[in-house]
Amino acid sequence: MNNEQISARLAQFRPPHWAQDPVSAGFVRAIGMERDELVIRLVLPFADLAVAESLKTLDLELCQLSGARAVRWQLALDVATLARANEAQGVAGVRNIIAVSSGKGGVGKSTTAVNLALALKRQGARVGILDADVYGPSIPLMLGVADARPESDDGKTMSPIEAYGLKANSIGFLVGADDATIWRGPMASKALAQILRETRWGELDYLVVDLPPGTGDIQITIAQQVPTTGALVVTTPQNVALADAVKGISMFRKVNIPVLGVIENMSYHQCSQCGHQEALFGEGGGLRVSVEHQVPLLGQLPLDVNICRHMDNGTPTVEALPEGHITKAYLDIAARVAAGLYFTGTPIPTSLYTRSV
Ligand SMILES: Nc1ncnc2c1ncn2[C@@H]1O[C@H](COP(=O)(O)OP(=O)(O)OP(=O)(O)O)[C@@H](O)[C@H]1O
């Protein structure tokens, strides 16, 4: 068998959301024959295990080239730590922080943050979620752990709540919802910095942070307090929401936090009876913002009564309907976010988790 031929074929493989092929990116670690099987080992530095499906489309050709009876793909993750915005000091053990924001309230930012976190986990990563929405911490409810409280065995650090394989902490676990809403910027950001650094996250590939909606002082303070790798802006297609999404993009750019892209939520309504799709809030808005402001449109989610029901019941859609089309959309977004983060970022050394803070 000629490894060079196999390598050359792999070098032509590039999923649309990857900026490089696996060979030139250095993801291919071994090519060899084991009995009559061609074994190819890839190690990805970002969460994208679903790429296995696309790789399988090469099987027939690779068998012909190598004379093998079958191809065995060995796909593993070793998520790279990428440089943080403004060279901020990281959280030990946490490789990358993804901030989820929205210019306008109620557009589905928390829904997106939770499902994105679960989708990143399905793509093979170790994931945490931090609810930094001081105005309306809803993540405990959405994860079905509203009554949980983080425990502290040393009086200094707290253990996160575990839900659906995510490590979660929320300002909502620690203060009453009404107390947090009257906090002013400095108080809220101080409390948040404490939660971020005093939670025993352990080793995480991605920590998703749900920011408070809006683009005012408090959001800027909080965004700067979190050592972010990249930020996402969630919007709906209405003009008012889009105008606020643009303000969100500008806010991050002003404080030098890279914007990974825009996610359009409630893009269209699909009739549960006949399947007819209707753009209730207008069409093409997310794409327009993405083109005009040069940020990727990472995906579009339908307005679907199931999403709302799942979140209210504390079983997010990615868990409730793991094989459904909405989950597929979240998995695609997760892969695009993870790949985008990697290909636009600069790898730096990973600092391992230590118990002392
Ligand atoms: N695509 C969707 N289809 C149907 N309902 C949705 C969708 N996305 C979110 N929702 C529902 O809309 C409501 C608001 O969502 P969510 O709390 O995620 O918004 P938010 O932008 O985080 O709000 P806030 O500004 O209060 O933080 C929730 O009841 C949620 O279940």
Residue identifier of the C-alpha nearest atom 30 of ligand 1: 308
Q: Which of 331, 341, 316 is nearest to 258 (CA)?
A: 341
Alpha carbon of 224 to ligand 1 centroid (Å): 25
Residue identifier of the C-alpha nearest atom 19 of ligand 1: 108
Residue 178 has pLDDT above 70, yes or no: no
Residue 24 structural domain: 3-77
Pairing of strands 269-270, 70-77: unpaired
Atom of ligand 1 nearest to the CA of 210: 22
Q: Is the ipTM of this complex over 0.95?
A: yes
* Ligand 1 site-directed mutation target among 115, 263, 270, 308, most atoms within 8 Å of CB: 308
Q: Which tokens go with 243?
A: 């105008």
Residue that terminates a domain, selected from 25, 56, 77:
77
55 and 204 within one domain: no
Alpha carbon of 140 to ligand 1 centroid (Å): 14
Residue 357 has pLDDT above 50, yes or no: no
The pLDDT of 167-188, averaged and rounded, is 74
Rg of the chain over Cα atoms, rounded to whole angstroms, equals 21
The pLDDT of 97-104, averaged and rounded, is 94
Residue 157: per-residue pLDDT: 92
191 and 121 within one domain: yes
Over residues 241-254, the pLDDT tens digits come to: 888 999 999 999 99
Ligand 1 binding pocket includes 169 (Cβ within 6 Å)? no
Alpha carbon of 340 to ligand 1 centroid (Å): 25
Residue 353: inside a domain: no
Over residues 223-233, the pLDDT tens digits come to: 888 999 999 99
Residue 101: per-residue pLDDT: 95
138 and 64 within one domain: no
165 and 53 within one domain: no
Ligand 1 binding pocket includes 170 (Cβ within 6 Å)? no
26 belongs to an annotated ligand binding site? no
**CATH number of domain containing 251:** 3.40.50.300
308 and 260 within one domain: yes
Residue 238: inside a domain: yes
Cross-strand bridge partners of residue 75: 42
168 and 298 within one domain: yes
Atom of ligand 1 nearest to the CA of 114: 18
Residue that terminates a domain, selected from 77, 94, 123:
77
Residue 109: per-residue pLDDT: 96
- The rounded distance, in Å, linking the Cα atoms of 246 and 221 is 19
Over residues 200-238, the pLDDT tens digits come to: 999 999 999 999 999 888 788 888 889 999 999 999 988
Residue 63: inside a domain: yes
189 and 143 within one domain: yes
Residue that terminates a domain, selected from 12, 42, 77:
77
Q: The pTM is what? A: 0.95
263 and 153 within one domain: yes
217 and 194 within one domain: yes
Ligand 1 binding pocket includes 115 (Cβ within 6 Å)? no
- The rounded distance, in Å, linking the Cα atoms of 93 and 185 is 27
How many domains, in total, are found in the chain? 2
237 and 89 within one domain: yes
* Ligand 1 site-directed mutation target among 305, 311, 333, most atoms within 8 Å of CB: 311
| 8 A C-beta contact, residue 79 and residue 125 | yes
Alpha carbon of 203 to ligand 1 centroid (Å): 29
Residue 60 has pLDDT above 50, yes or no: yes
Alpha carbon of 343 to ligand 1 centroid (Å): 30
**CATH number of domain containing 73:** 3.30.300.130
205 and 107 within one domain: yes
More confident residue, 25 or 194: 25
321 and 262 within one domain: yes
Residue 356: inside a domain: no
